[in-house]
Structure 1
């Protein structure tokens, strides 16, 4: 049986001639040209130069947009600190001279942009801004290398108590005592009291990437700390551990197991630091646009605020190799932290991925 009606219908609806011309025209042009090696090289070079030019323009535009957003973010953030505290102050601005009216309009513009664009230097849930926060890390210096912006932002909040639980004493190079002192000095630079730093010295949790930490052993330390300090929010690594360090990943799976077993207190929230790809990791402040578009919660530091984090990192003198100096000036984690809240369904999904 022949489907003549189908071929006739396709011939009427599709302009076969036009499609054929569009497909074969480039090849016809190539046949007309002199296909010598020199001609082919010139054609490839001109095409590559044009593509490279477009890439450079796109990168320049992206960098300029990120710089503009970075400046705009801190300009908008000043609206909350410069807002009048008393009702009479706002009334005075409204009934004052023209200059005061301009200030009021300027503040209104800031508030409108802040609400519309969600551009804030600190964008965290209310539960993480007030209360007792616990940062769980694997080694001394993790608090500066990865969580510096978060710690700085939390310690600047009134009524927010930040605790650090470090699960190893940094004895990978037999320098546990030195690294212990460096940890306390670095936390002090970040605004954390020495009494709020808990350093675990357990033989089954060595600072060694070749030793796999048992999640149940890590989970017992986390749970005991949460219950004894009445912690309201936990911050730690995600399942990729930022640098894929097995000790970092073990901390996440231990905390996730507590969430999965419903052992965490009812009011305790669980947040993880986002791991990003290598290209974004060393974009410094130029990862701002990707962070705002792809993340739910974030902390962004100005250059002056990031100086505090860099100073805290320099307290870890035993770890300041040449690549650490490169890291503290180019890494995005010295300026920006992005977090997400983990719930039970997220943990179940990630545990399935881990098992597979």
Structure 2
């Protein structure tokens, strides 16, 4: 009878519940061990390499698809741009002549196509030339640092302006001597002068509209600092003597970050800052873009149309004229120049912006800092 309490206590114990709890615990421990083993396998170097490889392949596939879509969109816009610009690629940009041809021979189909063009032009702003009014008519001065700058960087702009009736384009080149040829100054100066004349002739600029400085204090040398006041005086004298209405030159980054290019901008900007330019004279700069966009050729068109205010876009046939002009600078044609003229965006597209006094003040502060 002394052990009745023990029998009663054992009888109250639910052995099945204890068995189930024990079984679940062992099962949980086993699962945890399996998960730990799987985790160790997943963290092994081989597993990590396989995962990175599969993820990278998938990401690369997506990148290639996006690039392909972007290139196709750019090609489509490139074709659409010249369809929306009647006469583009033929050297005729006279709007009055186009309208006369449309009235003489245009039917209902032409009227519908013209209305569609006008709608797309106003909605998408797609046209091969989108320049400010001051640059469309009048007297325009292009200020460059060296011979071949006009072809390498400003070719589309020059070609677009010279195709407009009543627009006189002048080129002011500040240096005609390469620092590499200082030992043979006269011969190289004459050679580069003739190359510049022939190149400008291809672009539609007569020899009488070329102002080539023979200043020994402005050599083609990135290690020689050009004095802004000396450059500014030359620009101002040319602007006043030729009654210029618009100036085009490099921006503060000089497209290629060449110190001579940057010096030309700061000299022109100092004239604007000092209010020395004529009131009717506008100041425009060529946009410097990053190196990726710089070598996208015509595939930079999408970025240009949506990120720029003013631009000039050449067809392949028109760009061939700029390339032929560049080939006239035979003394400067190194192997990398051949690559440049076929891949650079500046041989097909120029984007520009107008510089006002507030812009100059801000950029001068940045320059001083």
Normalised to the residue count of structure 1, the TM-score between the two structures is: 0.87
C-alpha distance in structure 2 between counterparts of 1:232 and 1:253, whole Å: 19
Alignment-derived partner of residue 28 in structure 2: none
Per-residue deviation at 1:78? Answer: 1.1
Structure 2 counterpart of 1:103, from 104, 110, 115 = 110
C-alpha change, 1:276 and 1:81, in structure 2 (3 Å) is farther
C-alpha distance in structure 2 between counterparts of 1:29 and 1:157, whole Å: 77
Structure 2 counterpart of 1:290, from 278, 303, 306 = 303
Structure 1 counterpart of 2:210, from 159, 173, 197 = 197
Instruction: Decide which moves more: 285-294 or 33-42.
Output: 33-42
What's the secondary structure of 2:271's corresponding residue? Answer: helix
Structure 2 counterpart of 1:85, from 86, 93, 100 = 100
Structure 2 counterpart of 1:240, from 245, 253, 267 = 253
Per-residue deviation at 1:81? Answer: 7.8
Per-residue deviation at 1:247? Answer: 0.3
Gaps of 5+ in 1: 1-26, 94-99
C-alpha distance in structure 1 between counterparts of 2:275 and 2:243, whole Å: 16
Aligned length: 322
What's the secondary structure of 2:42's corresponding residue? Answer: coil
Map 1:134-283 to 2 at 5 A: 134-174=141-181, 175-283=188-296
1:189-231 CA-partner distances (Å, limit 9, x unpaired): 1000101000101121111111000000000000000000000
Map 1:293-308 to 2 at 5 A: 293-308=306-321
Per-residue deviation at 1:177? Answer: 1.5
Per-residue deviation at 1:82? Answer: 7.8
Per-residue deviation at 1:84? Answer: 3.4
Alignment-derived partner of residue 73 in structure 2: 65
Per-residue deviation at 1:38? Answer: 1.3
Instruction: Decide which moves more: 129-138 or 71-80.
Output: 71-80
C-alpha change, 1:29 and 1:177, in structure 2 (3 Å) is farther
C-alpha distance in structure 1 between counterparts of 2:177 and 2:163, whole Å: 28
Q: 1:284–1:333: 8 Å Cα contact kept in structure 2?
A: yes
C-alpha change, 1:45 and 1:169, in structure 2 (3 Å) is same
What's the secondary structure of 1:189's corresponding residue? Answer: helix
C-alpha change, 1:82 and 1:111, in structure 2 (3 Å) is farther
Instruction: Decide which moves more: 29-38 or 204-213.
Output: 29-38
Gaps of 5+ in 2: 1-34, 88-94, 182-187
Per-residue deviation at 1:58? Answer: 0.6
C-alpha change, 1:86 and 1:275, in structure 2 (3 Å) is closer
C-alpha distance in structure 2 between counterparts of 1:29 and 1:282, whole Å: 51
Q: 1:170–1:180: 8 Å Cα contact kept in structure 2?
A: no
Per-residue deviation at 1:30? Answer: 7.7
Task: Say yes or no: does 1:335 pair with 2:342.
Answer: no
1:55-105 CA-partner distances (Å, limit 9, x unpaired): 111111110010000000000001758843289x37x85xxxxxx322211
What's the secondary structure of 1:213's corresponding residue? Answer: coil
Alignment-derived partner of residue 40 in structure 1: 48
C-alpha distance in structure 1 between counterparts of 2:159 and 2:327, whole Å: 16
What's the secondary structure of 1:201's corresponding residue? Answer: coil
RMSD of aligned residue pairs (Cα, Å)? 1.9
Instruction: Decide which moves more: 176-185 or 309-318.
Output: 176-185
What's the secondary structure of 2:306's corresponding residue? Answer: helix
1:300-347 CA-partner distances (Å, limit 9, x unpaired): 000000000000000000111110000000000000000000000000
C-alpha distance in structure 2 between counterparts of 1:255 and 1:267, whole Å: 15
Alignment-derived partner of residue 16 in structure 2: none
